C-alpha cells in the first residue's frame, strides 16, 4: 500500500509535490527482520531522490560479494517482485 504525503502545505498539483510512503506487509516485516539478523551490514544510506536514478541491478551485484548467497537471492527476488 502506498500513501502520498504532501511535501508542503502549498498547492500540490504535480507528482513531485508528494512523498510516497509504503506500508509493508507482516510477511515483509518478518522477512526483513530475519535477513537483518543474519547479515553483518551496519550501514545506512540517505537515498532521498536516488531511487529514480539508481541502477538497482548493479547495486545488487555489488552486494552479492558481501553477503551469503542465500540472503542475496532472497533480497534480489524479493525486490524483483515488489
Indicate whether 16 belongs to any domain: no
CA–CA dist 23, 72 (Å, integer): 23
Mean pLDDT over residues 1-27, rounded?
A: 80
Indicate whether 48 belongs to any domain: no
pTM of the predicted structure, to 2 decimals = 0.52
Tally the domains of the chain.
1
Indicate whether 59 belongs to any domain: yes
Q: 66-79, pLDDT tens digit by residue?
A: 888 988 898 888 88
- Residue 75 lies in domain: 55-81
C-alpha cell at 18: 508528494
Under 8 Å between Cβ of 7 and 18:
yes
Q: 19-52, pLDDT tens digit by residue?
A: 888 777 888 888 888 888 887 766 655 555 555 6
Indicate whether 74 belongs to any domain: yes
Indicate whether 41 belongs to any domain: no
C-alpha cell at 35: 535477513
Amino acid at each position: 500500500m502506498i500513501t502520498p504525503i504532501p511535501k508542503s502545505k502549498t498547492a500540490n498539483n504535480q507528482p513531485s509535490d508528494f512523498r510516497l510512503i509504503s506500508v509493508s506487509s507482516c510477511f515483509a516485516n518478518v522477512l526483513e527482520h530475519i535477513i537483518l539478523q543474519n547479515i553483518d551490514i551496519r550501514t545506512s544510506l540517505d537515498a532521498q531522490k536516488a531511487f529514480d536514478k539508481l541502477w538497482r541491478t548493479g547495486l545488487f551485484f555489488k552486494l552479492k560479494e558481501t553477503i551469503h548467497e542465500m540472503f542475496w537471492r532472497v533480497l534480489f527476488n524479493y525486490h524483483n517482485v515488489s
